[in-house]
Amino acid sequence: MKQLHVLFLLCLQLSAAQAQSLVMGLQEAIERAQTQSLDYEKNRNEWINNYWAYKTYQAGLRPRLVFRGDLPDLSRTIVPVIQNDGTETFRARSLANSFAEMALEQPIVPTGGTFFVSSQLSRIDVLSPVNTTSYLAYPVVVGIRQPLWGYNHLLWQQRIEPLRYEESRRRFDESMEMIAVKTTELFFNALLAQKNLEIADFNYSNADTLYSIARARFELGKISEVDLLEIELYYLNNRNARDLAQYEYNYHLLQLKNYLRLGEDTDLQLKVPEWLPLLRIDATEALAQARQNRAKTLSIQRRLLEAEQEVAKARAERGVRADLYLSFGLSKSAPTLQDTYSDVQDQERFRLSLEIPILDWGRGRARIKTALANYRLTQTEAEIEQSEFEQEVLLQVQRWNIYSEQIQYAQRAWEVARKRYEIAWHRFRRGHIQLSELNAAKREQNEAQRQYLSSLQNLWSAYFVLRMLTLYDFEKQQTIEYEIHEEE
C-alpha cells in the first residue's frame, strides 16, 4: 500500500512537470499577448473608458426625467413687516417651505436649446405668529429655453464626439497590432538566444570531443604539445561562450515570459516560424488603406473641428448674446391640496435676456485672434503629421519588400554554410584539414544561422508594423478589426 502511495505521488509530480512544459511558436505567443499581457489590459481599459464616455454623450441627447425638491426648507427669522399705515416693523416669523418638481427635459441639437415639460407643487406653512398653510400647484408647464445668436455646443458635440469614439476604436486596433510588434521583438530575441545557446552547446560538445581525441593522440606521440594546448584553449573558449550564451538565453526568455505572463518555472521552448508572409505589397494600396483606416486620419479631423469650434465660440461670445425663455401652463393657489388642482388657471411666461458688450478693452477681439491663430497652427501641424505619416507608410512598404527578398538569400546562405561545415568536420576527423579551417567553417555556419534568424525577425517585425500602420491584412485582403466586449 505504501508503494502504491509513493507511485501515485511520483505520477502527480510527473504530470505537474509535463504541465509546465510549453512549446510555442510566434503566432501562439502573439495570441497569448493579445489576451493576457498587461499591455492588452491597459489598452482594453482605455477603450472601455472611451466607450462609456461616448455612451455618456449619447445619453445626454436623450430625454431626461428628473425630480427636484426642497423637503422641507425651515426658517425662523426676524423680518420687516409692512403695517396698515405703511410703516414697517420687525417681527419674528417661523416658516416651513416645501417644493417638489418632476420635469422631463429634451435637448434640441439643431438649435442648442432645451424643451421641457414639468409639474410643480409648493407648500408654505407659517408656524408663527399665525399658523396657516397654503399650496401653489403648476400641474403642467410646457416650455423652451433657447439661446439666440450664440454658441451651439450641442451641434459641435454632434460633429466631434462620433469622431472621437471611432478614433478610440481604431486606436485600440492599432494597439493590438503594436502588441504583435513588441511580442515579435521579444520572441525573436529569445529565439536567437536559444539558437545561440544550442550552437554554444554543440560547439562545446565538439570541443570536448576534440580535446579528448587530442589528449589520446598526444599520449601516443602523434601531435605536439603546442597542438594540444591550442585545442585545449579552443575547448576553454567554447566553455566560456556556452556559459555566456546560457545567461543571454535566460535573460531574454525571462523578458518574454514576463510579457506573456507565464510562470518563471514554465519550461518554454520556442519554434522557428515555418510559414513566411512573402507578399509583394503595392505602396499605393498600402497608402490608401492607411488613409482610410488609421486613427491618425480621424485624429486630424477631430482636432481641426475642435479648433474651429473654439473660433465659433469666441465669435459668439464677443457679440450680442440673448436667451429666450417661453412657457405655457396651468396654475392654482389654495389653502388645501385638493382645491389646488380644481379650477386651475392658465399662465404664460415670456422672457428675453440680453447681454451686449459695450466696452471690453479688446478682450473679445483678442480671444477671436487667439482662436484663429490656434486654428492655423492646428492646420499646419495636421499637414506635417499627415506628410510624416504617409512617408512612414511608404518607407515601411519599401522596407517590407526588401526584407521579403533578403530572407530567401539568408535561408540559402544558411543551407550552404551548414553543408560546408558538415564536410569540413568529416575532413578534419580524417586529418585532411587543420583546426583553423574547421573553426572558420563553424563560424560561417553560426553567422549564417544568426543572419537567417535576424532576417526572420526583420521580416515579421516589418509585417506587423505595416499591419499597424495601415490596419489592413494584406494576406486576407480585409480591414483589421478586433472584437472587444465592454464591461456592463
H-helix segments, 140-224: 153-219
DSSP tag of 248: H
Strand locations in 385-486, DSSP E?
A: 472-473, 478-479
Strand locations in 190-302, DSSP E?
A: 267-270
Alpha carbons 274 and 268: distance in angstroms, whole number: 18
Closest residue by Cα to residue 478 from 289, 278, 287, 238: 289
- Count of alpha carbons within 13 angstroms of residue 137, beta-carbon side: 16
Low-confidence ranges of the chain (pLDDT < 50): 1-19, 488
pLDDT, position 341: 84
Compute CA distances 153 → 147, 381, 435, 446, 474, whole Å. 11, 25, 82, 66, 41
User: What are 135's three cell numbers?
Assistant: 399650496
pLDDT, position 20: 61
User: Whole-model pTM?
Assistant: 0.81
Q: Is 481 exposed, middle or buried (0-12, 13-18, 19+ CB in 10 A)?
A: middle
pLDDT, position 106: 94
pLDDT, position 117: 95
Q: Are 295 and 170 spatial neighbours (Cβ–Cβ below 8 Å)? A: yes
pLDDT, position 487: 57
Other CB atoms within 10 Å distance of the CB of residue 209: 12
pLDDT, position 3: 46
The owner of cell 478610440 is 168
Alpha carbons 369 and 350: distance in angstroms, whole number: 36
pLDDT, position 30: 93
Per residue in 117-130, pLDDT (tens digit) is 999 999 888 877 77
Report, in this order, helix, strand and coil percent for the chain, each rounded to 5: 60, 25, 15
Per residue in 421-478, pLDDT (tens digit) is 888 888 887 777 776 787 788 778 888 888 888 888 888 999 999 999 999 998 888 9
pLDDT, position 19: 45
Alpha carbons 460 and 466: distance in angstroms, whole number: 10
